[in-house]
Amino acid sequence: MPKFFLGILCLALVSCASSGWVTTLKDGREITSRDFPRLNDDTGYYRCVDESGETIIFHEKQVASIVSQPRD
């Protein structure tokens, strides 16, 4: 469990230098969002707003990775 919190801390620090987040799903789709996707622990679904302003909802089991997108 401590590794999980360390990972969250690292992601928070990286977010200060990023311009967004790229979520890659297991089917290969990529979702780019300005803010880190928020997970609802009760339902297991992430929610984020993509670059076009659309709200995207996807299940945590669909996620392959979530990484920060560096500034240009």
Q: So what's the pLDDT on residue 69? A: 87
Question: Per the structure block, which two tokens stand in for 50?
Answer: 């993509």
Cβ neighbourhood burial of 18 (10 Å; 0-12, 13-18, 19+) = middle
Residue extents of the structural domains in the chain: 2-70
Query: Within 10 Å of residue 56's Cβ, how many Cβ atoms?
Result: 16
**Which CATH number describes the domain made up of 2-70?**
2.30.30.100
- Which alpha helices (DSSP H) does 1-72 contain, by range? 2-15
pTM for this one?
0.69
What pLDDT, in 10s, does the model give residues 16-49? 545 799 999 999 999 999 999 999 999 999 999 9
Rg (CA), the chain: 12
